[in-house]
Amino acid sequence: MPRLPLIAVQACWTLHSQAGKPSGMAGQSSSKGAASKAKETREERLKKALKANMARRKAQARARAENETTQTSGKEDE
């Protein structure tokens, strides 16, 4: 049996060691901890964006309501 160079042996071992894993790409380890942490940070970012958006919309609604009351009271005086 011919001896293979060390690099070829390592490559074969890597391919065979990843054969039983259901993940998409060999050599990548999927960490549930990192994925859940990324999901939490995304959820926190979305939560902050939603809160800022709601505050902006409430301020706009208040400004419109105030503008309508001043316009209607101004027309009654005339």
The model's pLDDT over 12-39, given as tens digits with 9 standing for 90+, comes to 555 555 555 555 555 555 678 888 888 8
Query: Is the separation of the CB atoms in 27 and 18 below 8 Å?
Result: yes
Residue 20: inside a domain: no
Cα separation, 53 vs 59, in Å, equals: 10
Domain count, the chain: 1
- 69-71-72-76 Cα dihedral, nearest 10 degrees: 130
Distance CA 43, CA 36 (A): 10
Instruction: Tell me which residue range forms the domain holding 69.
Output: 50-78
pLDDT interval class at 57 (50, 70, 90): very high
pTM score, whole prediction: 0.46
- Mean of the per-residue pLDDT values for the chain? 76
Domain assignment of residue 73, yes or no: yes
- Model confidence at 70: pLDDT above 90: no
Q: Is 37 helix (H, G, I), strand (E, B) or coil?
A: helix
